[in-house]
Each structure stands twice: as C-alpha cells, then as structure tokens.
Amino acid sequence: MRLEREWKICPTKDCAPFSDIARYALGPNASAIISIMALFATTNTVLLMLLASSRIIYGMASSGSLPPILASVHPRTHAPWIATILSMIIAMSFVFLEDIAFVANVNNFTVFVTFIVINAVLISLRYKKPQIARPFRVPISWGKLAVLPVLGILFNLLMLIQLETRVMAIGLGLGGLGALAALISMRYIRSDIKKID
C-alpha cells in the first residue's frame, strides 16, 4: 500500500519507476546498480548505432550517393575511419541539445518518413514495373493496389502529425542536407565520367 500511495503522488517527469520499484524491493543500493546497468546498456546501443551508421555512410559513398572520401578505409584496421568520425560528430552534436526526448522524436520522424517512402515505392512499383520478378508479394490487394502499404502510409502519417513542429523542422532539415549531399555527389560523379569519356 505504501508503494502504491507514493507512486500516485510521484510527479510524471521526475519519476524513475523502474528504479523506484528496485529500491523498494532490493534496498537503497538498487538504484545505483540499475543506473550502472542502464549505462552499460546505453553504451552498447550507442556503439552498435555508431558502427551501423558509419557502415551505411561507407556503403552510400561506395555506391556514389555520397562523396567518395567517405568510403576511405584505414590501411591497418580496414575500418571506414572517415565515415566513423563523421558519424561520431553528428551523434555528439545532438548531445548539446540536452533533451533526450527531442532527439528521440527526431529519430521517430526519420523512421516514420522512411516507412512512408518504402510503402510508397512498393505501391509505385506495382504500377510502373508489374512484370518485375518478386521473391515475395505483399498480400491483400485491390486490383493492383496493395492495401497493407496504403495502411502503412496512413498509420505513419498519423504518428508523424503527433510530433512537435520543431521536431519536424529539424527532421526536414537533416533530410534536406542528406538530399543536398547526394545531389552534389551525383554531379561530381557525372563530371568525372564525362572527363573519362
């Protein structure tokens, strides 16, 4: 009853429910243990994201979507070191915002937009390239129109409009920077091809 009573009066933004439960169940040192576990879990997640994002940048640079310098590989470690440094700088820039909820929502924005684009491309391919070989066909169609991707777009739009205006602005800004980088890179590659010809 004591835990339930104190839980109800606990301010929403200042509470750490999991830590509070652990403290009541395991004693006063539980909070420190939970904090250490959370730090290890977060460090592991950040490391994986840094590795993944640097490899994505490396792959895009290798295919010509980003400047070729980002595809540079270190001679000793064989790691895409410039792409890794760029990923680190981008990640560190978000630390200065000092608002993890805002950063998470910017990430949500990019996820929602990505899923909208993926579903839109799937619908488009049904009409533009109906004869293309497909190892898997999305079920439930109305004529050529795939119903599930339409629902996917609608649900992602519904979640997208719940975000703050500043979150959308930052998300669009980051997307614009990515599009600009890709455009500059494509022009650079085309000019190199013309020089070779």
114-171 per-position pLDDT tens digit: 999 999 998 898 888 877 777 877 787 787 788 888 999 999 999 999 898 999 998 8
Looking at residue 180, the DSSP 8-state letter turns out to be: H
Q: How far apart are CA 35 and CA 81, in angstroms?
A: 32
Tokens of 83: 């792409």
Written as tens digits, the pLDDT of the chain (197 aa) is 444 445 455 555 556 666 677 777 777 777 777 778 878 888 888 888 888 989 988 988 888 777 788 889 999 988 899 999 998 888 888 778 777 788 888 889 989 999 999 999 988 988 888 777 778 777 877 877 888 889 999 999 999 998 989 999 988 998 888 788 778 777 766 665 555 54
Burial 134-159 (b: 16+ CB within 10 A, else e): eeeeeeeeeeeebeebbebbeebeee
Amino acid at position 151, single letter: L
